[in-house]
Amino acid sequence: MSFGKLYTYPKAPRSTMTLYIATLNNLDIEIVPALPGKIYPEHGDVSEEYYSKFHTGKVPALETADGFCVYESIAVSWFLAKQNPNTTLLGSNLKEETTVLRWASFMNYELLPPIMAWIVPIIGRGPSSPEILAQCEKNCELTIRAVEKEITGKKFLVGGCLTMADLFVVSGLARGYQFVFTKAWAAKHPIVHEYYMRIRSDPIFMKVAGEIVIRDGPGGTYPDYDGTF
């Protein structure tokens, strides 16, 4: 029996971890394209029916077979992880659970926004100049240093195994690698790069997010939806 429907668009940075968790837990989920107008203005927007279920019109969004609807990446990921009563993705005690949530929130509100702000001028959706790009890169450094400080000497951000914290942070970093985290950038951030490559090389990550590409220089097309999943 189908578990439900997960609405997203290709390589959506706040959806990657939900796809990972659904795959890890062997959930029978239908992946349904949802193209928010802010991301895909040429396609219009999501439907009024979508807005009636998921009021912000964003992704990821989950509708279970019994009609339960939930949106926001942390909530969707937490709900999917909880489908396995023995999951280790959420931490092994209250302190670890709290730290996992901190990292998930950190990715959404501290890590991804400056990465996207750097991407915007690269893809031609905002003004660009050497000064603007230099400032964008500088703005990313504070959050990258935060990851570096906490992962140094460890394999995982929380506890001794992979958790939702790693899934969120690596999903956010993946957006950077897609456009602006080049080979030169990786060489300047060896600790974060090693961590990213190790987690991102996980077979499930490769399945849901595709092959790893490290760019020679900044660039890329956005969005990259061709009408199919």
Residue 168 to residue 101: CA distance in whole angstroms: 10
Q: What pLDDT score was predicted for residue 36?
A: 72
Q: What pLDDT score was predicted for residue 227?
A: 46
- Average pLDDT on 92-108 reads 98
Give the confidence band of 37 by pLDDT, cuts at 50, 70, 90: low
- Average pLDDT on 95-122 reads 97
Strand-pair partners of 30 = 5
Taking alpha carbons only, the member of 142, 146, 167 closest to residue 74 is 167
Highest mean pLDDT among 10-19, 50-59, 193-202: 193-202
Asked if residues 94 and 154 have their Cβ atoms less than 8 Å apart, the reply is no
Asked if residues 41 and 48 have their Cβ atoms less than 8 Å apart, the reply is no
Q: Is the pLDDT of residue 99 over 80?
A: yes
Residue limits of CATH 1.20.1050.10 in the chain: 94-209
- Average pLDDT on 55-76 reads 95
For 122-153, the pLDDT digits (tens) are 988 888 899 999 999 999 999 999 999 999 99
- % of the chain with per-residue pLDDT over 70: 93
Mean pLDDT of the chain: 92
Among 3.60.9.10, 3.40.50.1000, 1.10.150.120, 3.40.30.10, what is the CATH number of 4-81? 3.40.30.10
> At residue 90, what is the residue type?
L
Paired tokens of 65: 């077979």
Helix axes 94-106, 73-81, angle to 10 degrees: 140
Helix (H) or strand (E) segment spanning residue 70: strand 69-71
Q: What pLDDT score was predicted for residue 222?
A: 65
CA 121 to mean position of chain CA atoms: 20
Q: What pLDDT score was predicted for residue 82?
A: 98
Per CATH, which fold does 94-209 belong to? Glutathione S-transferase Yfyf (Class Pi); Chain A, domain 2 (1.20.1050)
- Average pLDDT on 8-15 reads 89
For 12-32, the pLDDT digits (tens) are 999 999 999 999 999 999 999
Q: Is the pLDDT of residue 48 over 60?
A: yes
Q: Is the pLDDT of residue 228 over 60?
A: no
Residue limits of CATH 3.40.30.10 in the chain: 4-81
Contacts for 191 with CB less than 8 Å, ≥ 6 apart? 148, 151, 152
Give the confidence band of 39 by pLDDT, cuts at 50, 70, 90: low
Paired tokens of 120: 């915007």
Q: What pLDDT score was predicted for residue 121?
A: 93
Q: What pLDDT score was predicted for residue 229?
A: 44
